[in-house]
Amino acid sequence: MPPARKRQRAYDPAKTRAAVLAQFGNVRVAVRTLSSGQLAAPAGLGDWTVRELAAHLTMALEAVSRGLDGPEPTTPALTLLDWPSATAPHAGEIDEGVHALALANPDLDALYERTESRFTERLPEAGDGRLLATRVGAMALADHLVTRVVELVVHTDDLNAAVPGLDIPYDRHALATCTRLLADALAAKAPGASTEVRVPPYAVVQCVEGPRHTRGTPPNVVETDPLTWIRLATGRTGWQTALDDAKVSASGERADLGALLPLMS
């Protein structure tokens, strides 16, 4: 008999909405400070420039506005735990859209202002259960907003890595939400209870088939910080590299997560 499917974690819709706007605002403030030279530099993501990465961040919100503009889908909704693995096949489509968006919008701050205005105008009238058509399938608005938080946090980290000294801050709830969803996605991908993955202070999940732990210190433990976990889960950092750099600790014969990562790219 296959293992029972992991129950999806509940996220407070009001806090999620606030986290989306807070993290988008953090990015917008930072993007305003970038020089033309910094914007033209490589972003470290394929052939994207920093300008293209900055433009891509607006797509996180615009995807919601566009979905709310369209008719409500009648197809079954994709769940949050299915979303991370559903994104990879659309990388080429996203790449083309980013190049076109950056080319058509030389004034990034105007693009950010327009994007935020559309989002804040459309969002209050929409219910959390409203289905939206997204690139990967229909999703409930509340769930889709959680994925927007993940996109914003992951690409905030990409911007910080691409521009030395930029140091865009992370909204605490946004960072927590991103960490938790990606931890839950690991537990869904490798169901079990033999290994405990700890990402303090935001997430603890059990995963990997094997003897179930019931009391005391688990025999297999992985622990890391939120940003390292996010980088591992999205392929920004390799498992062995994180171990070698002492960014992650892993003890026990079932604590090697290398074959399970990344969860999305």
129 and 249 part of one domain: no
Evaluate whether residue 3 is within a structural domain.
no
CB 156 within 8 A of CB 26: yes
- SS3 per-residue string spanning 135-146: CCEEEEHHHHHH
**Last residue of some domain: 115, 144, 170?**
170
Domain containing 71: what range?
A: 13-170
- 97 and 146 housed in the same domain: yes
In a shared domain, residues 18 and 93: yes
Q: Which parts of the chain have pLDDT scores under 50?
A: 1-4
Whether residue 196 lies inside any domain: the answer is yes
Q: CA–CA separation, 56 vs 51, rounded Å?
A: 9
| pLDDT at residue 133, as a whole number | 97
Q: How many domains does the chain have?
A: 2
Q: What is the CATH number of the domain that holds 36?
A: 1.20.120.450
Whole-structure pTM value: 0.95
Q: Is 222 in the same domain as 238? A: yes
Q: Which of 135, 170, 205 lies at the terminal end of a domain, its last residue?
A: 170
Q: What is the pLDDT of residue 6?
A: 60
Give dist(CA 112, CA 262) in Å, integer.
30
Q: Which pLDDT score, from 0 to 100, does residue 90 have? A: 74
Specify whether 143 is located in the same domain as 191.
Answer: no
Q: How far is the CA of 62 from the CAs of 12, 57, 121, 138, 198, in angstroms?
A: 21, 9, 12, 16, 33
- Per-residue pLDDT at 215: 64
Residue 225 belongs to a domain with what CATH number?
Answer: 3.30.1050.40
What pLDDT does 217 receive? 72
Per-residue pLDDT, 1: 35
CB distance 233 to 264 below 8 Å: yes
B/e letters for 105-118, b = 16+ CB within 10 Å, e = fewer, are beebeebbeebbeb
Q: Is residue 44 located within the same domain as residue 148?
A: yes
Q: Quote the pLDDT of residue 23.
A: 98
Instruction: Mark whether 192 and 134 lie in a shared domain.
Output: no
Q: Is residue 265 part of a domain?
A: no
**Are 44 and 121 found together in one domain?**
yes
Query: What are the tens digits of pLDDT across the range 54-109?
Result: 999 999 999 999 999 999 999 999 999 999 999 878 777 888 899 999 999 999 99
